[in-house]
Amino acid sequence: MLGPPLSCVVSVSGVRGVVGDTLRVEHALGLAQAFAIAVAHGGPVVVGRDTRASGRALVQAVSAGLAAAGCPVIELGIVPTPTVAIAVTHLGAAGGIQVSASHNPHEWNALKFFTSGGRNIDGEQLEWLLNCYRDPPMGLHRRWDGIGGWREEHGVLDIHLQRVLAAVEARAIRARRFTVLVDCVNGAGCVLAPRLLAALGARVVAVHDRTDLPFPRDPEPTAANLRQVGALVRAANADLGFVQDPDADRLAIIDEQGRYIGEEYTLALCALARLEQAGPGNLVCTNLSTSRLIDDVAARCAARVERTPVGEAHVVDAIQRHQAAIGGEGNGGVIDPRVVLGRDSHIAMALVLELLARRQQPLSEIVRGLPSYAIHKEKLALDRAALRAALPALQAAFAGDGMHSDQRDGLKLLGHDRWVHVRASGTEPVTRVIAEAPTAEEAQALCARVRALLGAEQIIDGHRL
């Protein structure tokens, strides 16, 4: 075995845990060595990180592991996760590793793995990596004359910027001279988001844009965590506010009135912008937990929706398989394959501004013109094995309500005007329950019923209730 046994969260979304507890430097060293053999096959590997205090130490371990297995290392420093994916293809690398735990609190960190195609590894590649970690081949460690080299690369942010600008009607956006507040949560988005918005002609009001400071709050861009940001948008007299997560692959939006419109609207607005431009007959790919709002938007544009299990890699699989115009997830993650085969808050910001420029309407008015659904999300203290054992009884309990089931990812129960999705998280050791219904009370009641049937405690702010 190349390191200690893995007791952290392992999925195609990355290997993540609490640093010094379930994720240690020894894990990062061994996982990088396994990646070098199983995925990169000794070729050059791009390495980046977000702003977490543990990031530098883990990057050093990752770089050492790669070099020890013969891979040349190209370090990018602090960059958004989508920039790492772009760097892989731009530099012709054999793969990439981003050290970031995305939306998790500061004590967490993770390794995210990318293939030579600039996308997340899939399930099969993850198994190759894990098998190599557990049972490494002979001769993995190179002699002194076979150790991989090392260099820094600082120009990839420019490539990322140019790809986004080329994908939208930049001249029309610049003509509007928007005022935009952007909250980078002191994460990796600080290095690109304000610069992109300025290049689109915006007056930029940047807050929490220091890479040397800790996250100012719980970094997941949810309504509960962004109560103060709406007031900042109003005070700045901004046309809208954008909020990133620490690795800048997710985006939440606040309208000109300071109202958090919900992460589900991020994908819906970007899909509307892209599909209006692309024309009829196109396709949107999204996961099973995303609001039916995306189906309504697609129908307006004579497009259709393909759904997948939750996870960025699954959505990317579908985008590539069907040559979709756009895809993403209801957590604020937008995937535009013209820019990168992964979630990217920067193209999401540009697409929303493009839609506003084209419509010549304020954001609140565009949102009012879209259907409204109530979505409620909970975390339960129930691990993957316990959930798997409980799903048959849960399905039977809802069968009498006339709800049919989709078992591609946990259990999704669908009625004519509501649904509830129960699945093990790929990023935390919890069960996620997401429900959508005509009213907030009905969505909450669906989650409460699932919680009672599972006999599980709800987790709020890290505490069991």
**465 pLDDT more than 60:** no
Could you tell me if 143 and 71 lie in one domain? yes
Residue 162 falls inside a structural domain: no
**347 pLDDT more than 60:** yes
Could you tell me if 94 and 192 lie in one domain? no
Could you tell me if 364 and 293 lie in one domain? yes
Could you tell me if 38 and 85 lie in one domain? yes
The predicted-structure confidence for 426-444, as pLDDT tens digits, reads as follows 777 889 999 999 999 999 9
Residue 161 falls inside a structural domain: no
Question: CA 80, CA 85: separation in Å to the nearest integer?
Answer: 9
Residue 461's pLDDT band (cuts 50, 70, 90): low
Output the pLDDT for position 464.
63
Q: What is the domain range of residue 297? A: 169-368
Output the pLDDT for position 92.
98
Residue 3 falls inside a structural domain: no
**416 pLDDT more than 90:** no
Q: Which of 156, 184, 199 is the last residue of a domain?
A: 156
Could you tell me the maximum CA-CA distance found in the chain, to the nearest angstrom? 68
CATH number assigned to the domain comprising residue 324 = 3.40.120.10
Q: What is the CA radius of gyration of the chain?
A: 22
Output the pLDDT for position 463.
55
The predicted-structure confidence for 85-140, as pLDDT tens digits, reads as follows 999 999 999 999 999 999 999 999 999 999 999 999 998 999 999 999 999 987 77
Residue 352's pLDDT band (cuts 50, 70, 90): very high
Could you tell me if 325 and 185 lie in one domain? yes
Q: How many domains, the chain?
A: 3
Contact 135, 1 (CB under 8 A): yes
Output the pLDDT for position 219.
93
**Any idea of the CA torsion for 73, 75, 79, 81, to the nearest 10 degrees?**
10
**233 pLDDT more than 60:** yes
Helix (H, G, I), strand (E, B) or coil at 112: strand
Residue 192 falls inside a structural domain: yes
CATH number assigned to the domain comprising residue 387 = 3.30.310.50
Residue 16's pLDDT band (cuts 50, 70, 90): very high
Output the pLDDT for position 118.
96
Could you tell me if 335 and 246 lie in one domain? yes
Around Cβ 170, how many Cβ atoms within 10 Å?
18
- Mode of pairing for the β-strands spanning 304-308 and 95-99: unpaired
Q: Which of 368, 385, 414 is the last residue of a domain?
A: 368
Give backbone dihedrals phi and psi of 17, rounded to 5 degrees, phi first: -170, 180
Output the pLDDT for position 17.
95
Residues tagged active-site: 102
CA nearest neighbour of 242 among 264, 219, 260: 260
Average pLDDT over residues 214-225: 92
Output the pLDDT for position 114.
97
The predicted-structure confidence for 36-81, as pLDDT tens digits, reads as follows 999 999 999 999 999 999 999 999 999 999 999 999 999 999 999 9
The predicted-structure confidence for 240-275, as pLDDT tens digits, reads as follows 999 999 999 999 999 999 999 988 899 999 999 999
Angle at CA of residue 331, ends 261 and 344, nearest 5°: 100
Average pLDDT over residues 153-158: 96
Output the pLDDT for position 97.
98
Q: Which of 308, 339, 368 is the last residue of a domain?
A: 368
- The model's pTM is 0.92
